[in-house]
Amino acid sequence: MSSNPLSVIMHPRSIVVAGASNNMMKMGAMHAMNLLYGGFRGDVLFLHPSEKNLLGRRAYASAAELPYVPDLALLVTPTRVTPGLMDELGARGVRHAIVVTAGFREMGPAGAQLEAELLAAAQRHGIRFVGPNCIGALNTHIGFNCTMIPYTDKPGRVGLISQSGTYVAQTIPYLREVGVRYSQAISVGNAANIDLVDCLEHLADDPETHAIAMYIEGVRDGRRFLAAARRIAPKKPLVALYVGGSAAGARSSLSHTGSLGRPDTLMDGIFAQAGIVRATTVDEMFGWANALANMPAPQGRRVAVLTHSGGPATSMADAIERIGLEMPEFSPPLQAKIRPFVAPTASAKNPVDLTFDLGNEGFTKRIPEVLFASDEVDAVLIHGMFDTGFALEVHKLVGGPAGVPEEDFVKPFMYDLEPLLQMPGNSGKPLVASNFLRVDHAAETFRDRGVPLFRTPEAAVRGLHALVQYGRLRERLSGAVEEHAEAPQGPRLESGVMNEFAAKRLLAAHGVPTANERLVETLDDALAAAAAIGFPVALKGLPAGVAHKTEAGLVHLNLRNKSGLQAAWKKIEKAAPGCPRLVAEMLAGSRELVVGMTRFPGFGPCVMLGVGGLFTETIRDTAFRAAPVGLADALSMLESLRLKKLYGPVRGLPPVDAELLARIIQAVGKLALAHPEIAEIDINPLIVVDGRPVAADALIVVE
Amino acid sequence: MSSNPLSVIMHPRSIVVAGASNNMMKMGAMHAMNLLYGGFRGDVLFLHPSEKNLLGRRAYASAAELPYVPDLALLVTPTRVTPGLMDELGARGVRHAIVVTAGFREMGPAGAQLEAELLAAAQRHGIRFVGPNCIGALNTHIGFNCTMIPYTDKPGRVGLISQSGTYVAQTIPYLREVGVRYSQAISVGNAANIDLVDCLEHLADDPETHAIAMYIEGVRDGRRFLAAARRIAPKKPLVALYVGGSAAGARSSLSHTGSLGRPDTLMDGIFAQAGIVRATTVDEMFGWANALANMPAPQGRRVAVLTHSGGPATSMADAIERIGLEMPEFSPPLQAKIRPFVAPTASAKNPVDLTFDLGNEGFTKRIPEVLFASDEVDAVLIHGMFDTGFALEVHKLVGGPAGVPEEDFVKPFMYDLEPLLQMPGNSGKPLVASNFLRVDHAAETFRDRGVPLFRTPEAAVRGLHALVQYGRLRERLSGAVEEHAEAPQGPRLESGVMNEFAAKRLLAAHGVPTANERLVETLDDALAAAAAIGFPVALKGLPAGVAHKTEAGLVHLNLRNKSGLQAAWKKIEKAAPGCPRLVAEMLAGSRELVVGMTRFPGFGPCVMLGVGGLFTETIRDTAFRAAPVGLADALSMLESLRLKKLYGPVRGLPPVDAELLARIIQAVGKLALAHPEIAEIDINPLIVVDGRPVAADALIVVE
Residue B116 sits at φ, ψ, to 5 deg, of -65, -40
How far, in Å, CA of B698 to CA of B507, rounded? 9
Residue from A436, A591, A618 whose CB has the most chain B CBs within 10 Å, to mutate: A436
Contacts of B406 in chain A (CB under 8 A): none
Span B491-513, average pLDDT: 93
Comparing CB atoms, the residue among A25, A38, A322 nearest residue B358 is A25
Helix/strand/coil for B371: helix
Span B324-348, average pLDDT: 92
If one compares A690 and A650, the residue with the highest pLDDT of the two is A690
If one compares A110 and B246, the residue with the highest pLDDT of the two is A110
Under 8 Å CB pairs connecting chains A and B tally to: 280
Residue from B252, B259, B320 whose CB has the most chain A CBs within 10 Å, to mutate: B252
Contacts of A255 in chain B (CB under 8 A): 310, 347, 349, 353
The pTM of the whole model exceeds 0.80: yes
- The letter for the amino acid at B428 is G
Query: Is the distance from CB of A404 to CB of A392 less than 8 angstroms?
Result: no
Residue B403, classified by CB atoms within 10 Å of its CB into exposed (0-12), middle (13-18) or buried (19+), is exposed
- CB crowding B17-48: b at 16 or more within 10 Å, else e: bbbbbeebebbbbbbbbbbbbbebebebbbbb
Q: Please determine, for residue B570, whether its predicted confidence score (pLDDT) is greater than 60.
A: yes
Comparing CB atoms, the residue among A30, A251, A314 nearest residue B256 is A314
Span A479-485, average pLDDT: 61
- Find, among B551, B593, B579, B558, the residue nearest to B698 by Cα: B593
For position B279, what pLDDT does the model report? Answer: 98
DSSP string, A574-600: HHSTT--EEEEEPP--SEEEEEEEEEE
Chain A residue nearest residue B620, CA to CA: A643
Q: What's the whole-number average pLDDT of chain B?
A: 91
For position A254, what pLDDT does the model report? Answer: 27
For position A260, what pLDDT does the model report? Answer: 24
If one compares B208 and B404, the residue with the highest pLDDT of the two is B208
For position B91, what pLDDT does the model report? Answer: 98
Q: Could A174 and B33 be called an inter-chain contact, meaning their C-beta atoms sit closer than 8 Å?
A: no
Contacts of A164 in chain B (CB under 8 A): 309-312, 314
pLDDT bracket for residue A481 (50, 70, 90): low
For position B248, what pLDDT does the model report? Answer: 39
Range name among A234-243, B33-42, B193-202 with the lowest pLDDT average: B33-42
Contacts of B614 in chain A (CB under 8 A): 590, 651
Comparing CB atoms, the residue among B244, B321, B648 nearest residue A249 is B321
For position B174, what pLDDT does the model report? Answer: 94
For position B487, what pLDDT does the model report? Answer: 65
Q: What is the DSSP letter of B189?
A: T
For position A256, what pLDDT does the model report? Answer: 25
Q: What is the DSSP letter of B166?
A: T
How many Å lie between the alpha carbon of A175 and the closest alpha carbon of chain B? Answer: 9
Alpha helices by DSSP H, listed for A233-349, are 247-254, 264-274, 282-294, 310-323, 332-338
Residue B383 sits at φ, ψ, to 5 deg, of -115, 125
Contacts of B282 in chain A (CB under 8 A): 312, 315, 456-458
For position A397, what pLDDT does the model report? Answer: 78
Q: Could A321 and B27 be called an inter-chain contact, meaning their C-beta atoms sit closer than 8 Å?
A: no
pLDDT bracket for residue B194 (50, 70, 90): very high
Q: Could A457 and B166 be called an inter-chain contact, meaning their C-beta atoms sit closer than 8 Å?
A: no
The 3-state secondary structure of B111-164 reads HHHHHHHHHHHHHHHCCEEECCCCCCEEEHHHCEECCCCCCCCCCCCEEEEECC
Span B254-278, average pLDDT: 69
Q: Give helix A562-575 / helix A523-533 axis angle, nearest 10°.
A: 140
Q: Which domains does chain A have, with CATH numbers?
A: 6-292 (3.40.50.261), 295-477 (3.40.50.261), 516-585 (3.30.1490.20), 591-702 (3.30.470.20)
- Residue B399, Cα to own-chain centre: how many angstroms? 49
Q: Could A393 and B173 be called an inter-chain contact, meaning their C-beta atoms sit closer than 8 Å?
A: yes
For position B478, what pLDDT does the model report? Answer: 80
- C-alpha distance from residue B78 to each of A345, A440, B186 (Å): 13, 31, 22
Q: What is the DSSP letter of A207?
A: T
Span A101-127, average pLDDT: 96
Residue from B318, B329, B342, B591 whose CB has the most chain A CBs within 10 Å, to mutate: B318
**Cα dihedral A270, A275, A281, A285 sign:** negative
Q: Could B282 and A456 be called an inter-chain contact, meaning their C-beta atoms sit closer than 8 Å?
A: yes
Residue from B174, B360, B390, B398 whose CB has the most chain A CBs within 10 Å, to mutate: B398
Q: What's the whole-number average pLDDT of chain A?
A: 91
For position B253, what pLDDT does the model report? Answer: 26
pLDDT bracket for residue A483 (50, 70, 90): low
Q: Please determine, for residue A168, whether its predicted confidence score (pLDDT) is greater than 90.
A: yes
How far, in Å, CA of A551 to CA of B333, rounded? 45
How far, in Å, CA of B304 to CA of B371, rounded? 7
pLDDT bracket for residue B618 (50, 70, 90): confident
pLDDT bracket for residue B480 (50, 70, 90): low
Q: Please determine, for residue A253, whether its predicted confidence score (pLDDT) is greater than 50.
A: no
Q: Which pLDDT tens digit goes with each residue over B481-490?
A: 666 556 678 8
Q: Could A436 and B243 be called an inter-chain contact, meaning their C-beta atoms sit closer than 8 Å?
A: no
For position B26, what pLDDT does the model report? Answer: 83
Span B319-334, average pLDDT: 96
How many Å lie between the alpha carbon of B510 and the closest alpha carbon of chain A? Answer: 32
For position A127, what pLDDT does the model report? Answer: 98
For position A480, what pLDDT does the model report? Answer: 64
Query: Is the distance from CB of A221 to CB of A197 less than 8 angstroms?
Result: yes
Contacts of B172 in chain A (CB under 8 A): 393
Secondary structure E strands in A66-198:
72-75, 96-99, 128-130, 137-139, 144-145, 158-162, 182-187
B604-611/A431-434 β-pairing: unpaired
Please state the ipTM of this predicted complex: 0.92
- The letter for the amino acid at B137 is A
How many Å lie between the alpha carbon of B320 and the closest alpha carbon of chain A? Answer: 8
Span A162-176, average pLDDT: 95
Helix/strand/coil for B598: strand
Q: Please determine, for residue A644, whether its predicted confidence score (pLDDT) is greater than 90.
A: yes
